[in-house]
Structure 1
Amino acid sequence: MFRNLLNRGPQPVAPAADLDPALDDLDLRAARDKAFGGDWQAAWDVVEAAGSDWERRGRRVWTLSVAAADDGAWLDAWRAAIPDDPTAAAIWASTLAERASRARGSAPAADTTRERFVGFAELAAQAAVAGRQAIALAPDDPVPWVDVLWVMFAGGRGRQQEFAEALAEVRRRDRFHFAAHLAAVSFHCEKWFGSHDAMFGLARSTAAAAPPGAGVTMLPVFAQFEYAMREFNWGTPTPKGLLACRRYFQRPEVQRELDACVAKWRAAGPPAHADAIVCRNWLALAYALSDRRAEAKAVFDEIGPYVASPAWSYFFGDRKHGFLSNWRWANRLR
């Protein structure tokens, strides 16, 4: 036994987990660094470079808004220099939406204070106004509508019709916009304002209608995470809850849906849309919960160090811990 241990050789070294929302968009990272240094023109350039790739534009706007939520001096200077610039307006609306999300926090409603809910509602209302202003400046751009969707999570119980109308506006501009449909699936899940049936219905109908290669073809996999977390691991994740989630993911019907989603997502060639790393994170997690080690390792190899989804925290308490512990499991020498 000891000889075998000594002969195993070096073990693979886990990557330095990268939680930067820019993911593998190196141009975006460079532009954001320049913006922090006072060159807001670099931020404008990188967003405009996305052209009519609305998903890439949206991810770049959102990533810059995360930076502005921490330190928005560069965005303030931009908005002062060009008050009616639609790109700056979109980033500002997204910044307010990001601040609203931070005010709310990620805890379940029962564990969230009244003060947090009040802060969430106030900032969400400001973000909604800013989003409508951004829409008025760029009527053909679906990106500001995505933030309009997300801020409806503040007081969303009575906003189903308003939400549906806003989603229709996104679809009119970009039929299968990934971030918009992710917001919609989340809005309709049981932990927010819908039910398991409503969530799965929206995820599956969107995936079925979408063309091969579209990121939304992976939405049923995300819905499976939401279902398993709510049913078996709600609140603080536990070993017992994780075991129940693993058993659920290994059911034949769940495996069939996972394989069908992946087949359609990959059918157009290696996915290269703006949120492909997010979908790969979902896939690695699904394979790990399914105990499919070889497939999980292959996807981790595609991902590299980029931790791109909070879904890891649904089952492992912390997204970085979930990502790295499953990377080690997938890469364990046998």
Structure 2
Amino acid sequence: MPEPDRDMALDDRELRAARGLAVAGDWAAARDIVATAGADWERRGLRLKVLAEAAPQDAGGWLDAWLLDAPDDPIAVTLNAAALSDRAGKARGAAPAAQTSEEQFRSFAELSERSHAEAVRALTLAPDDPMPCTILLGSMFAVRDQRGAFREVLAEARRRDRYNFDAHWTAVNFQCEKWFGSHRAMFDLARETASEAPAGSGVTMLPLFAHLEYAMRQYCWGKVSRDGLINCRRYFQRDDVQRELDACVTKWRSPGPPVHARALVCENWLAVAYALSGRRDECAAVFGRIGPYVASHVWAYFFGSTVGGFVANWKWANRVR
């Protein structure tokens, strides 16, 4: 099998090269790779997220040098907001609230607040880019009662890019039961967005993501177990879940092979869903399209490890012992 590749840049080789140059001190390479995405907001958002993860936490790094040279550069300000958001998420960690310390929560809140402030500035400096809205939505995870602001920010993201994948994916997460919503709110938002979106758009796969979130929360919350996995498999094999899975895939792929920047994320969701459904041949076909790119943490929901789940199910799908 291919060596699993967890790099957030996925198959964007130009982005990988630009990130290497930026880390070596050439912040202009980071600016240029984002700028060349133009109004492909999904590609631009992916590049900002990848560069944000690579931004140094210590003062005096390449991002600070960029901001010192061009303090109102909309790309630099948006990237700084995204970098603070990335640090906030890492500070909190991925464990359930009961397994998260007070110090982790404090760091999460502080960094989210700083990210929020920078994203507000980016809203004005980059009036068409939906990425500042996505970052603002992300900052709301640190504060419990943000439902009014949530609706306003999502509306602004939609004004900028009606079916933006990152904004809606973040919003569906916000509405899920493990955060500030419910199973019904999560499914309602995912299905409404998917039904209105044009065929081929990545958001048409959000109901599938909602099913993965539902199964994890109901059967594997806080601990992966044999019984939990059995229940997840039973859930995904239900006729109604299978019908919605197939409808999502049909609408997503009907214009032809997806080319949007988050296509590999959706392909990973689909591979997980086919694995849980027991649809081995279809799962193998999806792995053939994925190649080495482990593009979603959803594998860990059901199999305990992101890479471990990817590898084990690749072997199952391809009948490799």
TM-based fold match above 0.5: yes
Aligned pairs for 1:277-296 within 5 A: 277-296=264-283
In structure 1, what is the Cα distance between the partners aligned to 2:267 and 2:319?
20
**Aligned residue in 2 for 1:306:** 293
**Residue type at the aligned position of 1:142:** P
Residue 212 in 1 paired to residue 199 in 2?
yes
Residue 129 in 1 paired to residue 117 in 2?
yes
**Aligned residue in 1 for 2:37:** 50
**Residue type at the aligned position of 1:41:** A
- State the 1:71 CA deviation: 6.8
In structure 2, what is the Cα distance between the partners aligned to 1:25 and 1:45?
14
Residue 117 in 1 paired to residue 127 in 2?
no
Deviations 1:48-69 (A, max 9, x none): 0100011110110011001115
Contact kept in structure 1, 2:281 and 2:317, CA below 8 Å: yes
Deviations 1:88-122 (A, max 9, x none): 11110000000110111100011111111111101
State which of 223, 231, 247 in structure 2 corresponds to 1:244.
231
**Residue type at the aligned position of 1:312:** W
Aligned residues between the structures:
320
Residue 199 in 1 paired to residue 186 in 2?
yes
Tell me the percent identity: 59
Residue 321 in 1 paired to residue 314 in 2?
no
Distance 1:69 1:182, change over 3 A: farther
**Aligned residue in 1 for 2:176:** 189
**Residue type at the aligned position of 1:117:** F
In structure 2, what is the Cα distance between the partners aligned to 1:286 and 1:202?
20
In structure 1, what is the Cα distance between the partners aligned to 2:320 and 2:109?
50
Aligned pairs for 1:1-334 within 5 A: 14-69=1-56, 73-156=61-144, 158-332=145-319
**Residue type at the aligned position of 1:218:** M
Distance 1:86 1:123, change over 3 A: same
In structure 2, what is the Cα distance between the partners aligned to 1:253 and 1:190?
21
**Does the residue aligned with 1:135 lie in a helix, a strand or coil?**
helix
In structure 1, what is the Cα distance between the partners aligned to 2:58 and 2:286?
34
- State the 1:216 CA deviation: 0.2
In structure 2, what is the Cα distance between the partners aligned to 1:239 and 1:76?
48
Deviations 1:157-186 (A, max 9, x none): x11111110000000000000010001110
**Does the residue aligned with 1:153 lie in a helix, a strand or coil?**
helix
User: Any gaps of 5 or more consecutive residues in structure 2?
Assistant: none
**Does the residue aligned with 1:270 lie in a helix, a strand or coil?**
coil
Deviations 1:186-223 (A, max 9, x none): 00111111111110000001000000000000000000
Misfit runs of 4+, over 6 Å:
none
Give the TM-score normalised by the residue count of structure 2. Answer: 0.98
In structure 2, what is the Cα distance between the partners aligned to 1:219 and 1:299?
17
**Residue type at the aligned position of 2:93:** G
In structure 1, what is the Cα distance between the partners aligned to 2:154 and 2:194?
16
In structure 2, what is the Cα distance between the partners aligned to 1:199 and 1:145?
19
Contact kept in structure 2, 1:85 and 1:137, CA below 8 Å: yes
Which is greater in Rg? 1
Distance 1:15 1:261, change over 3 A: same
User: Any gaps of 5 or more consecutive residues in structure 1?
Assistant: 1-13
Distance 1:212 1:69, change over 3 A: farther
- State the 1:70 CA deviation: 5.7
